Structure 1
Amino acid sequence: MKRLFYLFTSVAITVGFASCSLDDDGANFYYAPLEIVNAQVPDTFEYGKVYTINVDLLRPDDCTMSDTFDVRRSATDSTNIRTVSAIGIVLEKDECEEVSEEIRDSFQFEVIYNDPYIFRFYSGDNENGDPEFIEVEVPVK
């Protein structure tokens, strides 16, 4: 009787695992840069403080959502130049409705240098496919 119980149990477990498909159809979204149309930065920074930088982004359709910011220090220029890109998640759906609306998001920025900061906010590509930026300089007191 015990053998019969173990046989039925092992068959049930095998059928249970075999009926579950672990195949993944792939990701149903991808990341894309969003155009920044405006940024609200303070007139001056104070060394050692953390600031909230508000950014207005262009949401092109209802399949696109704001996710995060990529704030990079310029490796070739200066330690105080920051290039800011807004990263969006785009859902892969059959139909996306165009909305062309501005949404607001923000990120935290810590002032770790005494020299003025130059922010380069990515605002899209021009007709030649070259990136364009909104540049803002903020002195540190």
Structure 2
Amino acid sequence: MKKSFFRFLFAAAVLLMNSCINDDAPNFHFVPLQIVSADLPEFFSLNQTYQIRVTYNKPDACTSFSGFDVTPKDVTIRNVVVIGTKRTDQETCDETQTEGVATFGFEVQHFQTYVFRFWQGENANGEQQYFEVEVPVI
């Protein structure tokens, strides 16, 4: 009797938990956000960490800042993309474009000029567009 009671409780708990799980598709996806400007120092010092401030465009109220994708393309070349999270479960979004500001930390590990390539979007041919900022290491 006791064994069947616990089996019943276990089955009821499993059914209850499964009823709370939403099997629908995710209600968001990640999108790159256009970078408008970036504040970098005039020079770096080796083995120091710097906070790099970036201003980006949010296309609507359903999109929020998620983080950065800083990808090394060579020893001292970095592609920087702001990543946003766009909600897909809202029927209406205020389509007003706004600017946001965020920072990321960067540690200087090489005694060479760094080139930061900040993502600005795609051109009419679908090619990625960047603006570049060079920062020497002294």
Same fold per superposition (TM over 0.5) = yes
Match of residue 130 from structure 1: 127
The amino acid across from 1:16 in the alignment is: A
CA shift, 1:6, in A, is: 4.5
Stretch deviating more after TM superposition (131-140 or 7-16): 7-16
**For residue 95 of structure 1, what is the aligned residue in structure 2?**
92
Q: Partners of 2:129 and 2:99 in 1: how far apart?
A: 18
Q: Which has the larger radius of gyration?
A: 1
* Deviation sequence 1:9-55 (CA, Å, 0-9, x none): 43343233224324521211111101000000001101110000000
C-alpha distance in structure 2 between counterparts of 1:83 and 1:106, whole Å: 15
Q: Alignment length, in residue pairs?
A: 135
Q: Which residue of 1 aligns with 2:53?
A: 54
CA shift, 1:98, in A, is 0.8
Partner of 1:37: 36
Report the identity percentage.
36
**Partner AA of 2:51 in structure 1:** T
Aligned residue number for residue 83 of structure 1: 79
Other-structure match for 1:115: 112
Any gaps of 5 or more consecutive residues in structure 2? none
Residue of structure 1 in register with 2:10 after alignment: 13
Aligned counterparts of 1:82 and 1:7: Cα–Cα separation in 2: 62
Q: 1:59 corresponds to which letter in structure 2?
A: K
1:11 alignment partner, SS class: helix
Structure 1 gap ranges (5+) = none
Stretch deviating more after TM superposition (28-37 or 14-23): 14-23
- TM-superposed CA distance for 1:101, in Å, is 0.6
Q: How far apart are 1:7 and its partner, in Å?
A: 3.7
Normalised to the residue count of structure 2, the TM-score between the two structures is 0.89
- TM-score when normalising by structure 1: 0.87
| Separation in 2, partners of 1:81, 1:9 | 61
Coordinate RMSD, CA, aligned? 1.6
- 1:8 deviation in Å? 4.1
